Amino acid sequence: MSKYEYVKEPALVKGDHDFSSLTRLVTDINLRPTPKAWYVAMIGANTLLFVMIAAIGYLIWEGTGIWGLTNPVGWGWAIINFVWWVGIGHAGTLISAILFLFRQDWRTAINRFAEAMTIFAVMCAGVFPAIHVGRIWVIYWVFPIPNQMQMWPNFNSPLLWDVFAVSTYFTVSLLFWYVGLVPDLATIRDRATSKIRKICYGIFSLGWTGSNRHWWNYEKAYMILAGLATPLVLSVHTIVSFDFAVSMIPGWHTTIFPPYFVAGAIFSGFAMVLTLMLVARKIYGMKDIMTNDHMEKMNIIILVTGSMVGFAYMMEFFIAWYSGVEYEKAIFMLRATGPYAWAYWTMMTCNVLSPQFFWFKKLRRSVGFTFFISIVVNIGMWFERFVITVTSLANDYLPSSWDYYSPTIWDVLTYVGTFGLFFTMFLLFLRFLPMVALAEIKAVTPQADPHNYDEETKEFIPPKVEVPEPQAQKV
C-alpha cells in the first residue's frame, strides 16, 4: 500500500438510479400535466414582466429624465443592472464550457440549468443598454450597418465593443445550449404521447435518432462550441469592464478591472445558480442529481472568487495610494467615507465578508445557509456595480460638479421588472425543457461504469453499485 490512500470521488448521482429512472425523473416534469403552482408562479412572473414593459413604455414615451440621472451621473441603475445581469450569466458558460473542457463531470447536473440562466440573464441585461439611450428609435446606429452616409460607428468606443461582445456571447451561449438540448429533446419526443408535443419536440430535435454518426457529430459540435464559449467567459466581462476602464474617470480608469470583473461575474453567477438550484431541486425532487456535493463545490468557487474580488478591492486602494494620483486617492477615500459610504460598506460586507464563512465545511454543506449567502452575494455584487458606476461619476475631478444621485421609482420598477422577464423565461424553461442534461448525466452515473468483474480474479460478478458517502471522506 502506498502512503497515500486513494480516496474515491463521491458518486455524482445519488440514489439507486438506472437510466430509465433518470429519464423519468427528468422528463416526467415536462410531460405530466402542468401543476397549479406553476401557474401561480407564472402569474407572479408575468405581473413583474408587465411592470417592466410598462416602465419601459413610459420611459420611451417621456424620456430618460424619469430616471434619477443627473448631470455628473449619466449612468445609474440601468448600467448597474446591465453589468449585474451580464455578470450573473457568466456562471452558466463557465460551468458548461470551461468545466466541460476540464472534464469536471459534476457539471452535468447543473449545466443545462445554469446555461438557461445565462441566456435569460443576458436577455435581461440586453434590455438595459438598449433602453438607457436618449433616443431609442435610432439605437440601430450602433451596429455597423452600411448606410447612405457611409458612416461607421466609432470603433474606438467601448460601448461599441460591448455591442459585439454581448451579442456574440448571447449567440454562442444560445447555440451551445441548443446543441446540448438536442438528444434530450429527442428523448422527450420519444416519450411524448400527444401529437402536438411529438411534432414540436420532433422539429427541435432535428431528426435525432441516436445513431453513432449523430453522436459523433454531436460530440464534435459540442466540443467546438465549448472551445468557442470558453474565451467568451473571459472576454465578455472584460469588455464590459472596458466601459469603465477605458474612460478617464477616477475609480474607473483602472487596469485591474478586467480580471476583477470576471471574478466578480463568476462569483455572482454561481450565487445565482445556487439560489435557483436550491429552490428547483426542492420543488422538483432533484436531490439525487443536484446533490449537496454540487452545492459544496460551488460554494468553494464562491469562496475563491469572493476572495479574489476582495483582493481586488484592496488592490484598488493600494494602487490609488501608490499611484500618487490625487483624484484616485480621493475617490477611494470618498467611497469608503463619503456620501455613498453606506453602499460601499454594504458591498464590502456582502462580497468580502460573507463568503468567508465557506471556509467551514459545515456551512458549505448547509442548504439554508448557502441559500442565504447566495442571495447576500448577489445583493453585494449589485452594490459593487453601484459603487463603481455612481460614486466615480458623482465625485470626479471638479468638486463644483459633485452631486448626489438618487434613483426614482421608475429605476426601481424597471429593475424589478427584469426579474419578471427572467422568471417568465425560466418558468417556461422548467416547464417545457429538461432541466438536467439527461444524456450527459447518464454517462457519469455509477451505473454507466458498472465494473461487472472482480478486479483480481477477473470473474464475472453481478452488478453491485457502491455509493460512497462524502461524509466518510477525510479532507
Partner 1 sequence: MKDLESTKQPMSEVKETTYWKSLNELAQNQEYKEFTEREFPENATELTDGVSRRGFLRVMGASIALAGFAACRRPVQKILPYSKQPENVVQGVPLYYATSMPFQGNLIGLVAENHEGRPTKLEGNEKHPASQGNSSIFNQAAVLALYDPDRSHSPLYNGEKATLEDFTAFAKSHFGNTNQNVVFISEANSSPTYNTLKEQALAKFPNAQWVTYEPFGEENVLEGNRIALGQRLRSYYNFLNADVIVSLNDDVLSATHPNHIEYSKQITSGRKVTSPDDEMNRIYVVEDSFSATGSYADHRLKVKASEIEAFTYALASALSDRVNGLGAFSGHSNQFSDHKWVTVLADELAANAGRSAFSVGSEHSAQTHAAVAAINLALGNVGNTVSYLEVPHVDEQNNSEAFAEAVSAMQSGSVDTVVLVGANPVYNAPADLEFEKALAKVGTVVSLSDYVDETSAKASWHVNRAHFLEAWGDGHSCGGVRSVIQPQIQPLHNGISEIEFLNRIVNGSTETGYELVQDTFANYFTSGFEARWNTLLHDGLDPDTSFDAASVSLSGGFASTMRSATANVSPVSGIEVVVRPDATLYDGRFANLGWLQELPDPMTKITWDNVALMSPATAEELGVENEDVVSVTVNGTSIDIAAWIQPGHVDNSVTLTAGYGREGIGRVATSYIDYTAGGVDTYPLRSTSNMLYASAQVSATGNTYEIACVQDHHSLEGRDMYRQATLEEYKDNPDFASYKEVHGYEVPGLEAAEHNGEDEPISLFNEQAYPDHEPQWGMAIDLNSCFGCGTCIIACQSENNIPVIGKKEVKVGREMHWIRNDRYYVGEDAESPQAVHQPVPCMHCELAPCEQVCPVAATTHSEDGMNQMTYNRCIGTRYCANNCPYKVRRFNFFNYTKEYLTTGDDPDIIQMAMNPDVTVRFRGVMEKCTYCAQRVNRAKIDAKKETGSAKPADGAVKTACQQACPADAIYFGDLTDDNSQVAQMKRNKRNYQMLEELNTRARTSYMAKLRNPNPALA
Site of interaction with partner 1 (CB under 8 A): 62-65, 68-75, 132-136, 138-139, 141-142, 151-154, 156-160, 163, 243, 246-249, 326-327, 330, 393, 396-404
CB of 10 closer than 8 Å to CB of 469: yes
Rounded to the nearest whole angstrom, what is the least distance from the CB of residue 311 to partner 1 in the complex? 27
Nearer to partner 1, 133 or 412 (CB): 133
Cα separation values, 349 from 148, 316, 334, 406, Å: 53, 17, 17, 22
Please, what is the angle between helix 212-245 and helix 158-191, to 10°?
Answer: 150
| Identity of the residue, 384 or 396, whose beta carbon is nearer to partner 1 in the bound complex | 396
Q: Which is nearer to partner 1, 249 or 375 (CB)?
A: 249
Choice between 75 and 120, CB closer to partner 1: 75
Least Å distance between CB 159 and partner 1? Answer: 4
Tell me whether residue 393 or residue 436 sits nearer to partner 1 (CB atom): 393
Least distance (Å) between residue 56 CB and partner 1 = 15
Task: State the nearest-atom distance from the C-beta of 320 to partner 1, in Å.
Answer: 15
We find the least distance from the C-beta atom of residue 160 to partner 1, in angstroms, to be 4
Distance CA(27)–CA(408), nearest Å, equals 44
> 133 or 375, CB closer to partner 1?
133
Closest CA to 131 of 89, 75, 174, 170: 75
**At closest approach, how far in Å is the CB of 342 from partner 1?**
18
